[in-house]
Amino acid sequence: MNIFNLRLSVCNYLYRQIDASTTGIVKSMRIYVNYFVLTLFLTESIVQTCYAALVERDWLVTGDGAITWDTATGLEWLDLTETAGLSFNQVNAQLGVGNTYENFSYATDEQIRGLFAAVGLKEFDGGLSDQGPKVEYLLNFWGVLLNLGTGERSEYLTGMTAGLPLAQHWSGRVYWLSDNQAAVNVLLFANDDDYGNITIGSALIRHASNVTVDGDVNEDGQVNVADLVIVQQIVLGLSAPPGTEPGHADFYPPTAPDGIINASDLLLMYQLLLK
């Protein structure tokens, strides 16, 4: 569902609620308040802050925030800062059971393009661009390896070797500058497998586990705008979680719901409907 259709569905749902109101002006006023607040929530400015798919998660210890979960693909990306300065050979030796990067593997170019797509980025060469805010948003999750003073840059190693000599892998680059210069290059440089640099990390992925995004708040067997409106009403304090499973509305953080239904749950519900 795209943003326009989601907004239209919300409006239609709320208008039906108004038409069905039978308890007088108080209920109608509350519905109008819901409509106003939800319309603000669905503006482009809010969409630009949450985009559609990335959630920070912990890796080794609580609070490290070293994992970026792409809810659209189900992939978890290890922060580039965790492998910065290590060569392909050094990281590759630590993949596999019992090693530092157990369950991780090097990302392909298509998987990297999927990560970029999650924040609305497409590959483009350096130059003037309006994509800087999206690059900055991505790097806030994935990791900044070089602070340029007027912007940020990160480079990453991939698992791609096509067209390269033995003992080399492709690397890519993303950066933005405050003067509207930016670049997103999925495969750009050929790197020797024994070469490491503090400005280069490894694009490591694993498949997310124990992730449950429910959202069927009214327990009708489907997740749609009606559930979104209910969560919005709960967040505003206009209603209590319905049914015998209030956890349907409490799905943030994804791996360990915190027992509180708030704006974080509302954002994930919105993201779910945009898929």
Q: Which domain does 30 fall in, by range?
A: 3-50+214-274
Based on the domain organization, do 101 and 186 belong to the same domain? yes
Q: Which range, 61-70, 71-80, 88-97, 233-242, has the best average confidence (pLDDT)?
A: 88-97
The CA distance from 96 to 174, in Å, is 28
Same-domain status, 91 and 180: yes
Residues 65 and 138 in one domain: yes
**Tokens representing 54?**
């990335």
Answer yes or no: do 93 and 224 share one domain: no
CA-to-CA dists, residue 125 to 131, 157, 199, angstroms: 11, 18, 19
Instruction: Check whether residue 222 and residue 250 sit in a common domain.
Output: yes
Boundary-marking domain end, from 176, 207, 238 = 207
pTM, two decimals, is: 0.64
When divided into structural domains, the chain yields a total of 2
pLDDT band for position 56 (50/70/90)?
confident
Check whether residue 123 and residue 186 sit in a common domain.
Answer: yes
129 and 35 within one domain:
no
Same structural domain for residues 78 and 200? yes
Mean pLDDT across the stretch 130-139?
A: 92
Residue 67 is predicted with a pLDDT of: 93
The partner residues of 95 in beta bridges, in order of sequence, read 101
Residues 226 and 154 in one domain: no
Last residue of a domain, one of 178, 207, 236: 207
Average pLDDT, the chain: 79
Domain boundary (207, 228, 262) is at 207
With 50 as the cut, is the pLDDT of residue 250 above it? Answer: yes
